[in-house]
Amino acid sequence: MTIINQGEADSSALLLLHGSVKVQATDPAGERALLAIRVGGDLVGEMAALDVGPRSATVIACTDIFYKRMTKAELRNFLARRPDAAIEVATMLSERLRWADRRRIEHGRPANVRVARVLVDLYEAYGTRAAGHWDLTVPLTREELASIAGIKLSTAEKIIRTFQQEGLVSGRYRGIAVLDMPRLRLRAEIV
């Protein structure tokens, strides 16, 4: 279910109370890119509520979700009355900018390192540890993984097969389980 559409003029923000969503954007050529995953407690649509301009991305529910919609005026008034909340929103925006910066900086790294880094980042932020492995709480296709890592789907598939052969991950339909996070972190060149 789509809850925000790229290009819309609506300027409300949504506070996710429960569930998970994917944030994606489509370029003028029609190529779609997964930008982020957001879960309960996250704010989405805040850019349209804090600046001017149309929606920069589409937000799609991955699970059952509950959210609180805030108009631009409601969000701005709340942040004006609650400086602590304004600092939290600024911190959140800074973290998201750092995530985007890391993805851009990594474009010079080998594709297998980029895939490993994306997996580590996503699973440490949104994964759950169960029975000796990590599962992602949001379904992630190989195409979406390739999109975040900035590589072609065929390259991502080859890398995942290699990681499977090395015992780092196991492949599943619309998902990947991380079996050995310490070794995956080494492949990601994260010390």
Kindly give, in sequence order, each residue whose CB lies less than 8 Å from that of residue 69, ignoring residues fewer than 6 positions away: 12, 13, 14
The CATH number of the domain holding residue 133 is 1.10.10.10
The CATH number of the domain holding residue 52 is 2.60.120.10
| DSSP-assigned letter for residue 54 | S
Q: Could you give the C-alpha distances from 100 to 54, 86, 125, 141, in angstroms and in order?
A: 20, 21, 15, 20
Q: How many domains does the structure of the chain reveal?
A: 2
Q: Which domain holds residue 73?
A: 2-105
- Asked if residue 85 and residue 7 are part of one domain, the reply reads yes
- Asked if residue 22 and residue 80 are part of one domain, the reply reads yes
Mean pLDDT over the full length of the chain? 92
Q: What pLDDT score does 40 carry?
A: 92
- Asked if residue 86 and residue 36 are part of one domain, the reply reads yes
| Domain termination site, one of 81, 105, 129 | 105
pLDDT band at 4 (very low <50, low <70, confident <90, very high): very high
pLDDT in tens, 13-33: 999 999 999 999 999 999 898
- Asked if residue 62 and residue 21 are part of one domain, the reply reads yes
Residue 146: strand, helix, or coil: helix
Contact 16, 63 (CB under 8 A): no
pLDDT in tens, 28-69: 999 898 999 999 999 999 999 998 889 999 999 999 999 999
Alpha carbons 119 and 184: distance in angstroms, whole number: 8
The share of the chain scoring above pLDDT 90, in percent, equals 73
- Asked if residue 151 and residue 82 are part of one domain, the reply reads no
Alpha carbons 190 and 121: distance in angstroms, whole number: 10
Report the pLDDT averaged over residues 138-142.
Answer: 86
Q: What pLDDT score does 190 carry?
A: 87
